[in-house]
């Protein structure tokens, strides 16, 4: 049994009526968690599946899934995550690609199309519901063969955020998780002497299947702390948690910061916060300014990625105490032994402080090698990192290279614009042209596109002016609350195709 499985087994050895998980207003005890975990383990054993065979876990953020996840970790098997937030055909395709011995899922995600895909694999199917687990009739036993690409060491294959396309699997070994992912969730949030003796309940609204979900749940589960589970982020759910527990620090994905501002959460409701952390995507400086001005709470930025094993760079309270707003907009300095350098996009030569280029990262918990990224950034003379967007998001308009972030930042300067996403829309003549999808601030009157174009021309070159415009109620987002660029592109291409069909 590996280290992570041993820790899960120790966690599930608890016999206690103490609260463990809260979901939809109900607290489940550790005894209830252990009972479900033990039942699921027995069902897994009864499938007859080879112990090396992978388990596909279609995981929704609910109390039963948390208990099931702990049970699956205890078995020491390789776990392959599948997002439930897709069509049944998409889930069936993922199952075919992942070649499971066993599939564990909520009943709502196992329609006949998905079950047919499980049968084709010879896999067993187990259903988790409100603190219970059962086998699907007719799919109690597994006859699946072991995939040729199955790793020797057990791992959890989490999913990327899907910012630039369909979420992709990324393998993290059990031993690495047992070593690096089981410390306090407050690490890097509180100052050196400010960690609470009794950790407050952790709050989970990230999907279980990605890196942020692991960061949210593993420390709590494996250390016996309380965990509050929400199936998705909402401003109300986050605000209620802050009001209820009065934590000294909190944070959300970058996209949620503007949501909090738009909801006009009263200042007194979040007055307990000394710091507010965000990461996973760049935060527009104007949004950061607006949040800090309204609430008087410093925003601490961070930089990380799934392939890094999470954050590798952060603006900590200690750094903020030393530098204050002198480093506004910085994602801080590397920590935990991580290294970051900036290289020339063409020659890969290492650049000096103050020069913009591509970022390369060494994350010791993953590997000793440099990881090449598509992120653009600058390291200043004090070693602070400033992000400058992504190189692979550039729009090539007839030979002119356009960074969407430049247009987005300019649009956010308009008083009526709450959020914006600019993408490259296919064009027969120029290859790509910019398309801008925007959200309007609550209570503001939507400006016409001519007004927005005139506003933009004051800030960007003529080649940056979008050819296509669209107002949306909400920008499409991935389950990690990042803007889903492929979905935004599809909004434009579908609209263009419909217009062409109507005029044909």
DSSP 166-200: S--EEEEEHHHHHHHSSS-TTTTTS-TT---SSPP
The pairing of strands 431-440 and 79-82 is unpaired
Nearest to 56 by CA among 38, 39, 46, 44: 44
User: Domains, the chain, ranges and CATH?
Assistant: 3-177 (3.40.50.980), 394-503 (3.30.300.30)
Q: What is the pLDDT of residue 166?
A: 53
Nearest to 278 by CA among 480, 95, 10: 480
Q: What is the pLDDT of residue 167?
A: 57
**Nearest-angstrom CA–CA distance, 423 and 275:** 33
Of 7-11, 200-204, 251-255, 349-353, the poorest mean pLDDT is in: 251-255
As to burial, measured by CB atoms within 10 angstroms (0-12 exposed, 13-18 middle, 19+ buried), residue 491 is buried
Q: DSSP label at 210? A: B
C-alpha distance from residue 82 to each of 161, 171, 308, 331, 483 (Å): 12, 13, 20, 31, 20
What does residue 366 show for φ and ψ, rounded to 5 degrees?
Answer: -105, -50
**Nearest-angstrom CA–CA distance, 483 and 395:** 17
Q: The sheet that has 249-253: what strands, in order across it?
A: 249-253, 275-279, 299-305, 310-314, 333-334
pTM of the model: 0.83
454 torsion bin: left (phi>0), alpha (psi -120 to 50), beta (else)? alpha
Neighbours of 431 (CB within 10 A): 14
Q: What is the pLDDT of residue 101?
A: 97
Residue 171 pairs in a beta bridge with 157
The mean pLDDT of 104-122, rounded to a whole number, is 96
pLDDT in tens, 436-493: 999 999 999 999 999 999 999 998 888 899 999 999 999 999 877 889 989 999 999 9
pLDDT in tens, 401-430: 788 989 999 999 999 999 999 999 998 878
- Identify whether the C-beta of residue 157 lies closer than 8 Å to the C-beta of residue 170: yes
C-alpha distance from residue 28 to each of 130, 228, 368 (Å): 10, 10, 41
Exposed e or buried b for every residue in 407-419, given b needs 16+ CB within 10 A? bbbbbbebebbbb
Helices (H), 390-474: 404-411, 449-457
Q: DSSP label at 477? A: B
Q: DSSP label at 473? A: S
pLDDT in tens, 343-374: 999 899 999 999 999 999 999 988 899 999 98
**Nearest-angstrom CA–CA distance, 330 and 332:** 5
**Nearest-angstrom CA–CA distance, 426 and 432:** 5
The tokens of 18 are what? 């103490």
Q: What is the pLDDT of residue 464?
A: 92
Q: DSSP label at 132? A: E
- Identify whether the C-beta of residue 362 lies closer than 8 Å to the C-beta of residue 341: no
The mean pLDDT of 149-155, rounded to a whole number, is 86
Nearest to 281 by CA among 426, 173, 419: 419
**Nearest-angstrom CA–CA distance, 85 and 209:** 11
Neighbours of 179 (CB within 10 A): 13
Position 190 confidence tier, pLDDT thresholds 50, 70, 90: very low
pLDDT in tens, 209-240: 778 888 788 888 888 889 999 988 999 999 99
Q: What is the pLDDT of residue 382?
A: 97
How many helices (H) and strands (E) in the chain? 14, 25
Q: What is the pLDDT of residue 168?
A: 64
**Nearest-angstrom CA–CA distance, 364 and 180:** 10
Q: What is the DSSP string of 365-404?
A: TT-SSPEEEEEEEEE-TTS-EEEEEEGGG-EEETTEEE-H
Residue-averaged pLDDT of the chain? 90
The mean pLDDT of 12-20, rounded to a whole number, is 91
Higher pLDDT, 299 or 89: 299
Q: What is the pLDDT of residue 230?
A: 92
Higher pLDDT, 501 or 266: 266
- The label of the residue with tokens 């016996």 reads 224
The tokens of 483 are what? 């803007």
C-alpha distance from residue 262 to each of 207, 230, 257, 258, 279 (Å): 24, 21, 9, 6, 19
The tokens of 277 are what? 């952390």
Q: For the chain, how far is it from start to end, CA to CA, in angstroms?
A: 65
Residue 276 pairs in a beta bridge with 250, 299
Q: What is the pLDDT of residue 500?
A: 87
pLDDT in tens, 46-103: 999 999 999 999 988 899 999 999 999 999 999 999 988 888 988 999 999 999 999 9
Q: What is the pLDDT of residue 198?
A: 61
As to burial, measured by CB atoms within 10 angstroms (0-12 exposed, 13-18 middle, 19+ buried), residue 54 is buried
**Nearest-angstrom CA–CA distance, 114 and 60:** 16
- Identify whether the C-beta of residue 200 lies closer than 8 Å to the C-beta of residue 273: no
Position 283 confidence tier, pLDDT thresholds 50, 70, 90: confident
The tokens of 97 are what? 């690609």
């Amino acid at each position: 049994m590996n280290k992570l499985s041993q820790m899960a087994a120790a966690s599930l050895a608890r016999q206690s009526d103490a609260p463990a998980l809260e979901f939809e207003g109900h607290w489940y005890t550790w005894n209830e968690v252990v009972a479900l975990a033990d039942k699921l383990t027995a069902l897994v054993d009864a499938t007859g599946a080879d112990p090396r065979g992978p388990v596909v876990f279609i995981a929704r953020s609910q109390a039963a899934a948390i208990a099931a996840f702990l049970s699956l970790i205890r078995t020491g098997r390789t776990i392959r995550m599948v997002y439930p937030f897709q069509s049944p055909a998409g889930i069936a395709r993922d199952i075919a690609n992942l070649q499971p011995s066993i599939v564990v899922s909520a009943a709502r995600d196992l329609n006949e199309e998905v079950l047919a895909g499980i049968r084709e694999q010879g896999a067993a199917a187990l259903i988790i519901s409100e603190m219970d687990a059962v086998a699907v009739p007719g799919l109690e036993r597994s006859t699946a063969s072991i995939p040729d690409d199955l790793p020797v060491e057990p791992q959890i294959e989490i999913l990327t955020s899907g910012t630039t396309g369909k979420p992709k699997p990324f393998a993290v070994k059990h031993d690495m998780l047992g070593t690096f992912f089981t410390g306090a969730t407050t690490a890097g949030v509180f100052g050196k002497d400010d960690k609470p003796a009794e950790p407050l309940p952790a709050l989970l609204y990230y999907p279980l299947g990605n890196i942020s979900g692991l960061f949210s749940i593993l420390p709590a589960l494996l250390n016996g702390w309380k965990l509050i589970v929400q199936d998705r982020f909402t401003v109300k759910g986050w605000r209620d948690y802050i009001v209820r527990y009065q934590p000294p620090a909190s944070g959300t994905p970058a996209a949620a910061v503007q949501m909090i501002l738009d909801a006009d959460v009263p200042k007194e409701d979040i007055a307990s916060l000394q710091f507010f952390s965000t990461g996973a995507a760049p935060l527009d400086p104007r949004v950061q300014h607006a949040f800090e001005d309204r609430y008087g709470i410093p925003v601490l930025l961070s930089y990380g990625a799934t392939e890094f094993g999470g954050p590798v760079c952060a603006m900590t309270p200690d750094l903020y105490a030393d530098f204050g707003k002198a480093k506004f907009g910085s994602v801080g300095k590397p920590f935990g032994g991580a290294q970051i350098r900036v290289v020339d996009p063409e020659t890969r030569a290492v650049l000096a402080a103050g020069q913009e280029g591509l970022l390369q990262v060494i994350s010791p918990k993953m590997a000793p090698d440099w990881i090449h990224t598509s992120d653009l950034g600058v390291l200043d003379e004090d070693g602070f990192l400033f992000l400058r967007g992504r190189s692979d998001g550039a729009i090539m308009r007839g030979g002119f290279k356009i960074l969407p972030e430049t247009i987005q930042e300019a649009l956010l300067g308009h008083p009526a614009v709450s959020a914006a996403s600019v993408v490259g829309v296919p064009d027969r003549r120029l290859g790509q042209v910019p398309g801008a999808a925007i959200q309007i601030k609550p209570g503001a009157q939507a400006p016409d596109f001519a007004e927005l174009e005139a506003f933009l021309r004051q800030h960007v070159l003529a080649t940056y002016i979008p050819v296509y415009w669209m107002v949306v109620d909400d920008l499409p987002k991935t389950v990690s609350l990042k803007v889903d660029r492929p979905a935004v592109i599809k909004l434009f291409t579908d609209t263009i195709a419909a217009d062409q069909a109507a005029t044909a």
